[in-house]
């Protein structure tokens, strides 16, 4: 029987913390339905994303990520390789974060990756910023709801994580995967997105109808996570595994796009406050299972993951 991910209706609150806890322990990936996000808000975000990626590369280069200084903006096809040893991923993306002005205290303090977004010109992509910011607000609210339920599943108060997200640093990534060319027209081993785990706490992924997302099971086998209408794919990142002393899984995943059509997705990486202290949560360690990770901060953890990626890419 083909492997599949759990589908969790969060509109049905009875036993919800326990259902989430089971999915986080065993798969680290699950679908969420009953979330209440307006389908129009999601559709408008996808439309804005599609219109941006339809621009020529020469125009999109006006907002190249290297012009930002804080990892915001457009990165072209094959600019990133998430799996060491593979050619650049067959995708392009646009990174957005909390849009902080120059006089924001975190910006004034020189906090890494905090500052203003690069927004496409309104004349070229009308309504882009408004559509994306509505979508951001909706997904951030959903992420907070899920973290509240996950806290309860861990035997903690429902508001336990509130202290770690007073001023969080979520990142929204708009993604476009061109049709994957025949093997004789691409570099050996080149796919849409190489195998990787996410770095932060939780990720909320909206994908279009093209499919292509694959998840790796505990035996190292890949299985499909196909689109489900109006559902979000939720997965845990390395920081949540670290926080829970590996009680919760940060699971490898990848993207292939042999559909013959363009694929769009939007990933919301909900990361905590930059200075939030991350150490093994109460109830996640014992004498038989001592803490596996030293205390750190959410920001330092993300920086360590960037450094590890660069080190892998250099070998």
Domains along the sequence of the chain with CATH = 7-314 (2.60.120.330)
pLDDT, residue 308, reads 65
Could you give the CA distance from residue 115 to residue 68 in angstroms, rounded to a whole number? 9
Q: pLDDT band at 311, cuts 50/70/90? A: very low
- Token pair 């913390």: residue: 17
Q: pLDDT band at 277, cuts 50/70/90? A: very high
Could you give the CA distance from residue 285 to residue 33 in angstroms, rounded to a whole number? 32
Least confident of 24-33, 168-177, 184-193: 184-193
Q: If you average pLDDT over every residue of the chain, what do you get?
A: 92
The three-class DSSP label of residue 281 is: coil
pLDDT, residue 235, reads 98
Asked if pLDDT for residue 75 goes beyond 60, the answer is yes
221, exposed or middle or buried, with CB in 10 Å at 0-12, 13-18, 19+? exposed
Print burial letters for 143-153: b (CB count within 10 Å at least 16), e (below 16): bebbbbbbbbb
Q: Is the dihedral of CA 90, 133, 24, 212 positive or negative?
A: negative
Q: pLDDT band at 314, cuts 50/70/90? A: very low
Strands, sheet with 213-216, edge to edge from the N-terminal-most edge strand: 193-196, 253-255, 213-216, 222-224
Q: pLDDT band at 188, cuts 50/70/90? A: low
Asked if pLDDT for residue 309 goes beyond 80, the answer is no
Span 188-214, mean pLDDT? 92
Asked if pLDDT for residue 313 goes beyond 60, the answer is no
Select from 262, 250, 274, 277 the least CA-distant residue to 27. 250
Select from 117, 30, 44, 106 the least CA-distant residue to 274. 106
Encode pLDDT of 115-139 as tens digits: 999 999 999 999 999 999 999 999 9
- Write down the H helix ranges in 54-175: 57-60, 105-108, 128-153
Span 69-93, mean pLDDT? 89
Could you give the CA distance from residue 42 to residue 54 in angstroms, rounded to a whole number? 18
3-state DSSP percent of the chain in helix, strand and coil, to 5: 30, 20, 50
pLDDT, residue 271, reads 94
Q: pLDDT band at 183, cuts 50/70/90? A: low
pLDDT, residue 299, reads 93
Contact of 215 with 29, CB cutoff 8 Å: yes
Span 155-181, mean pLDDT? 94
How many residues does this entry show for the chain? 315
- CA dihedral of 197, 203, 208, 213, whole degrees rounded to 10: 20
**At a CB cut-off of 8 Å and minimum separation 6, what does 105 contact?**
none
Could you give the CA distance from residue 10 to residue 19 in angstroms, rounded to a whole number? 10
pLDDT, residue 97, reads 96
pLDDT, residue 85, reads 81
């Amino acid at each position: 029987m083909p492997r599949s991910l759990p589908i969790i209706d969060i509109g049905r609150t009875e036993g919800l913390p326990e259902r989430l806890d089971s999915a986080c322990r065993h798969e680290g990936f699950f679908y969420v339905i009953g979330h209440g996000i307006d389908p129009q808000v999601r559709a408008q975000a996808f439309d804005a994303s599609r219109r941006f990626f339809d621009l020529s590369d020469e125009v999109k280069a006006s907002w190249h990520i290297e012009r930002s200084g804080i990892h915001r903006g457009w990165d072209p096809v094959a600019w990133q390789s998430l799996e060491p040893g593979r050619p650049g991923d067959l995708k392009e993306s646009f990174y957005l974060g909390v849009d902080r002005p120059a006089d924001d205290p975190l910006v004034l303090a020189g906090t890494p990756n905090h500052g203003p977004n690069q927004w496409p010109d309104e004349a070229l992509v009308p309504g882009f910023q408004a559509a994306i910011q509505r979508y951001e607000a909706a997904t951030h609210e959903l992420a907070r709801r899920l973290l509240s339920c996950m806290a309860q599943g861990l035997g903690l108060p429902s508001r336990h994580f509130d202290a770690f997200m007073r001023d969080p640093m979520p990142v929204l990534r708009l993604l476009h995967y061109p049709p994957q060319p025949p093997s004789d027209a691409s570099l050996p081993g080149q796919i849409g997105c190489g195998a990787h785990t996410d770095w932060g706490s939780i990720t909320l992924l909206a994908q279009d109808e093209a499919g292509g997302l694959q998840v790796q099971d505990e035996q190292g086998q890949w299985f499909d996570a196909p689109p489900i209408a109006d559902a979000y794919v939720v997965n845990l990142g390395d920081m949540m595994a670290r926080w829970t002393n590996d009680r919760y899984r940060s699971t490898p995943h990848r993207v292939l796009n042999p559909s013959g059509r363009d694929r769009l997705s939007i990933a919301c990486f909900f990361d905590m406050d930059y200075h939030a202290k991350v150490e093994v949560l109460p109830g996640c360690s014992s004498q038989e299972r001592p803490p596996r990770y030293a205390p750190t901060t959410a920001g330092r953890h993300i920086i360590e993951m960037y450094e590890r990626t660069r080190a892998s890419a250099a070998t």
